[in-house]
Amino acid sequence: MSHYVVGDIQGCHAEFRQLLDLIGFDAASDRLWLVGDLVNRGPDSLGVLRTVRAMGSAAVTVLGNHDFHLLTVAAGHRRPHRHDTLNAILDAPDREELLAWLRTRPLIVSEADRVMVHAGLLPSWTPSAAVALAREVEAMLASDEHDDFLRQLYGDEPSCWSSSLTGYDRLRVIVNVCTRLRYCSADDVLQLAEKRGPDHTPQGYAPWFAHPQRKSSGVTVFCGHWSTLELLIAPRVVMLDSGCLWGGTLTALRLDDWRLFQVPSRAPLDPAPKG
């Protein structure tokens, strides 16, 4: 049995299938962790959802910001963006089954000394605290109130985490951290506007994983989201969005021996984001 972690797919279904062939993935015995953003911008998001869902318990995915975008657009609470490629899902005969399945995916997965989240964790969050906070969002998404939650989800405020936050403000910050975080301050203030690489770090902030006192440093955090970093493998943090969507590669890391497997992009978008 082998255990793999795969970076952001974002609708690149052909590359995903090629990567599965390359690693010889066997759903009967192997395990697959997917760092989120299964959908959008790439040419076949519908194919990705159907493939991952069909894998059953062999594949575990966390929710990314593009996955949440699909859920809010499908619920009628957001208008599609100009470059979205979600129509095939929205028009599919199995649309409701796929959306219901996606809505019940976790925000964070934790196992032994490994944590998977799409974007990152705040400096003050221990792994156990992060999992507990993620469960609050997951419970809301699985409840009868999920539609109202999706209606209230979007926004950059509050911009600072506090354990005293309540209601949708609290849940919004948790989602923003788990699915959108790149930069933050040492005291848990989020900076969500800057999307480029560390050469463009806003004053007073640092990449979330660079804070020396962050309380998740005792585990290895696997994530994606930050394509301008391409591929970052460092002590206790592995960032696997190697930019397949933009002409880079789709990456899998085998956790048994930390061997990398990559396939090239077939139809990159232009222009790529600049780092």
Which residue type does 139 have?
A: A
Asked if residue 251 lies in contact with residue 257, where contact means CB atoms within 8 angstroms, the answer is: no
Residue/partner pairs of 86-91 with CB below 8 Å, 24 or more apart: 86/39, 86/40, 86/45, 88/44, 88/45, 88/46, 89/39, 89/45, 89/46, 89/49
Along the 275 residues of the chain, how does pLDDT read in single tens digits? 999 999 999 999 999 999 999 999 999 999 999 999 999 999 999 999 999 999 999 999 999 999 999 999 999 999 998 889 999 999 999 999 999 999 999 999 999 999 999 999 999 999 999 999 999 999 999 999 999 999 999 999 999 999 999 999 999 999 999 999 999 999 999 999 999 998 999 999 999 999 999 999 999 999 999 999 889 998 899 999 999 998 999 999 999 999 999 999 987 776 666 54
Task: For residue 56, count other CB atoms closer than 10 A to its CB.
Answer: 8
pLDDT at 267: 75
Query: CA–CA separation, 25 vs 176, rounded Å?
Result: 32
Strand partners, 249: 243, 264
Q: Which CATH class is domain 3-264?
A: alpha beta
Query: CA–CA separation, 218 vs 129, rounded Å?
Result: 13
Burial class (CB in 10 A: 0-12, 13-18, 19+), 236: middle
Vertex 101: Cα angle to 98 and 106 (nearest 5) = 140
Prediction pTM value? 0.96
Token readout for 122 is 């705040």
What is the sign of the dihedral through the CA atoms of 43, 46, 49 and 52? Answer: negative
Asked if residue 241 lies in contact with residue 227, where contact means CB atoms within 8 angstroms, the answer is: yes
Asked if residue 2 lies in contact with residue 23, where contact means CB atoms within 8 angstroms, the answer is: yes
DSSP class of 189: B
Task: For residue 193, count other CB atoms closer than 10 A to its CB.
Answer: 9
Residue in the structure block whose two tokens are 């490629």 = 85
State which H helix or E strand residue 72 sits in. Answer: helix 65-74
Q: Give the helix ranges, DSSP H, for 91-207.
A: 95-103, 127-141, 146-152, 167-180
pLDDT at 206: 97
pLDDT at 133: 98
DSSP class of 199: G
Query: CA–CA separation, 146 vs 176, rounded Å?
Result: 17
Burial class (CB in 10 A: 0-12, 13-18, 19+), 102: buried
